[in-house]
Amino acid sequence: MIYLKPLVPSEVLASSSFKKSAISLRMQSLCAPPPVHFPATAIRRCRTPTLAVRSLRAENEPSIQSALVSASHRLRETNRTEPLFIDPYAACFLPPYTKKDLDIHEQQQHYCLATKFIDDKLLEIAKRIDGLKQVVLFTDGMDTRPYRLNWPTSTMIFDVSPEKVFEIASEKLQGVGARIPKSCLFFHIPVEFENIEQRLRSKGFSGNRPSIWAMQGLPLESQSGFEAILSAISSLAMNECYLIGELPTNITLQSDLSKWMEKLFMSNGFRVKIVSYEEIAASLGVVLHSPVNHDTVLFIAQQLKFSDDQMETWRQEFQRVEEDGDEQGFEEL
């Protein structure tokens, strides 16, 4: 009879079969890939939607929809045989299906006539007034005037518009190669900021230099909102500067719109004139399909008073002259 000697633990470890299995397990642990750790920034980056996704989501917002309607008007006008103006960048804002099947909007003619009027007045006044190098545009965020108009050399262009719309539009414009004239400077001021006057100053605007102002497509929600903007313009615009634009009629319940505008503008130092769409159409040889426009009113206003910067400059000069006079009189005594 053969007796087998039981293996003690140390002997078990010494056995060849156990050694092989232990080495195998050890090699597996060494070859296994290390655990992957994702930084928090990577997770946040994955959650950030692309421009295309953001654009599609944003199209449901009223400010985006309104800006897209205006862009479609400009595109349709550009594609006409004899267009009032050409906007080479309007198409970049619109989805392909919109470009192929544009709905005719009853106010399209009025919008295009106003666009032509504002374009011409901006360039005419900018070239006529010596030293006019500041242009402020209150827009819907998809305004292409900074890119498509022939601005004088060294013009500073300020766009005041909804920030979200402007960001989307700016990326699309860059995607099609749109560029501001090399000799000009371009700044954006989000209309959501409370103190637009201070923001403009921080970007380099000066009330001691001539300027021209335009307003078209800016999403105004109330009469008080427009009054606040007009007050800021009044504080910054030099004497004899101009404000041109379209004002939506739904922001006020005034029965006599013309009288209300005249009083409001005059209280802010402006003499205003309402411009009829029929008058513009006649001057351009355009036949209006709908002569009455109940949605907007077109106007041009001239500043009669002096800007706050002008008044402050003169106050300092007057104070200096008085101090010099006092010193001279004291020396004579």
3-state helix, strand, coil in the chain (%, to 5): 50, 15, 35
pLDDT single digits (tens) 121-142 = 999 999 999 999 999 999 999 9
Residue 23 confidence class, pLDDT cut points 50, 70, 90 = very low
Give every CB contact of residue 18 below 8 A, 6+ residues apart in sequence.
Answer: 12
d(CA 290, CA 278): 10
CATH 3.40.50.2000 correct for 105-311: no
Q: Residue ranges of the domains in the chain?
A: 105-311
pLDDT tops 90 at residue 87: yes
CB 282 within 8 A of CB 253: no
Helix (H/G/I), strand (E/B), else coil: 200: helix
Helix (H/G/I), strand (E/B), else coil: 48: coil
How large is the angle between the packed helices 163-175 and 62-78, nearest 10 degrees? 40
CB 75 within 8 A of CB 91: yes
CB 207 within 8 A of CB 307: yes
On the CB side of 8, CA atoms within 13 Å amount to: 1
In 3D space, the residue among 117, 169, 181, 164 whose CA is nearest the CA of residue 143 turns out to be 169
Question: What residues form DSSP beta bridges with 3?
Answer: none
pLDDT of residue 96: 75
Residue 290 confidence class, pLDDT cut points 50, 70, 90 = confident
